Amino acid sequence: MRLWALALLLGALRTAGAPAPARNVLLLLDDGGFESGAYNNSAIRTPNLDALARRSVVFQNAFTSVSSCSPSRASILTGLPQHQNGMYGLHQDVHHFNSFDSVRSLPRLLSQARVRTGIIGKKHVGPEAVYPFDFAYTEENSSVLQVGRNITRIKALVRHFLQSQDERPFFLYVAFHDPHRCGHSQPQYGAFCEKFGNGESGMGWIPDWKPQLYRPEQVQVPHFVPDTPAARADLAAQYTTIGRMDQGIGLVLEELRRAGFLNSTLVIYTSDNGIPFPSGRTNLYRSGTAEPLLISSPEHTERWGQVSQAFATLLDLTPTILDWFSIPYPSYSIFGTKRVQLTGKSLLPALESEQPWDTAFSSQSHHEVTMYYPMRAIQHQQFRLIHNLNYKMPFPIDQDFYISPTFQDLLNRTRAGQPTHWNKTLHQYYYRDRWELFDCSRDPTESQNLATDPRYAAVFQLLRTQLLKWQWDTGDPWVCAPDAVLEEKLSPQCRPLHNEL
């Protein structure tokens, strides 16, 4: 599940000379894809994101480390992949995944450095002791619709936080719930809660929202989504909620301006995982992991409006924020004596000049508790390698996506033998090879698996070696799976199962 824009506001006092006004960081983490003018989608109106992009470095190769809501947010707030921080799947209800008690999260590290912390919107991580905030309005003490989609309420809470600020630097995390699907949880408001707060009977009213409606024929259909009337109508509803989020971002930035912080604020906008459509969320394909990333720094105005091809991942956000505050990176033990080291990097150098970064890693184990389909992936330059550990089982479908108009139409068309207008069959989607290798420069739709092609044997081996090293470096319990068992006290540590895989 997901979270749409997350706002993170951070302040740090300059250390040289006389005390200077606090610097601030605002992180807007959305829950979608590239549905904005900033990423060349001309079908949707997102004036606030577009304005932010003109004040930002626009990253073209940013990736999440896991395509699932709670695991992604935990990775963002710890700098550790899900298999290392313990948030293997969703946090809420029966899923009940949590990070390990000894994990040192970003809010804990900031608090120890006397930075005031706040969160507004959908939190979706735990336990509380690992992710403490001084100021909190989330689904844990409020309606997620009110603190995550009601942009008037969000504006008021941001104002409350800023007006109650003391002398400390501060970090504010605003987690928009738009445009998460809500057909599974609040179907009365539409597939994406696009009717919530629109002023119609029973829908409530959000005073600051001017709803923007789209016709199915207006939307841009991503290459990995079936081009059908049902999917187009689904995307049109999604666009409406993206518009609400965009207007909410404008309100948040205006509150910062009124408080005198806008021109001293580092703004980061991104998404936690892919959009909730086929090959999107819960997948480690590029369509499920590629994210928008805008970083606007008041100290690096010379790069505003520029596009960066440097690779970035959401594991880089904790190092970036710590670096912004000049706080040392943590080194600690989760289990035993082995020290945890952040594998991400600070993105601040990319705000000064183009960087040569060209590799990103991803790791997924669950989404819902029943959706056990562990995958590990690496994107290196134009190549993507995915290791599907549970490849003999069908790829699982989450409850939220299952009842969506897009997937129900895909099921019905498949059963009836009708054209699906999709770039793969449902059988191909369910049943995958153990290893999938794609050359995204020649095959941007990731349709041709090159893993067994002898012409790409050297590429396959290089990426496999890099991926395995990253798994060992990050203490991945699945490092030996699926054909061996990890026995840490033996040598070699991966002990073969002879299970015919």
C-alpha 248/C-alpha 239 separation (Å) is 14
User: Which are the contacts of 335, defined by CB distance < 8 A and separation ≥ 6?
Assistant: 100, 102
How far CA 55 is from CA of 232, 268, 333, in Å, comes to 32, 11, 39
Q: Can you tell me whether residue 193 is helix, strand or coil?
A: coil
Active site residues: 69
DSSP letter string, 320-384: HHHHHTTPPPP-EESSTTPEE------SGGGGTS-----EEEEEE--SSTT----EEEEEETTEE
Q: Residue 479 carries which DSSP code?
A: T
Residue 103 has phi, psi (to 5 degrees) of: -65, 135
90 contacts 69 by C-beta, under 8 angstroms: yes
Q: Which two tokens stand for residue 484?
A: 């061996």
Give kind and range of the element (H or E) at residue 283.
none
Q: Which two tokens stand for residue 70?
A: 């709670």
Q: Which two tokens stand for residue 14?
A: 């300059």
Quickly count: other Cβ atoms within 10 Å of residue 355's Cβ.
Answer: 16
Q: What is the distance of C-alpha 201 from the center of its chain? A: 34
Give kind and range of the element (H or E) at residue 126.
none
Query: Which of 377, 375, 378 has the alpha carbon at shortest distance from 389?
Result: 375
Burial of 498 (0-12, 13-18, 19+ CB in 10 A): exposed
12 contacts 21 by C-beta, under 8 angstroms: no
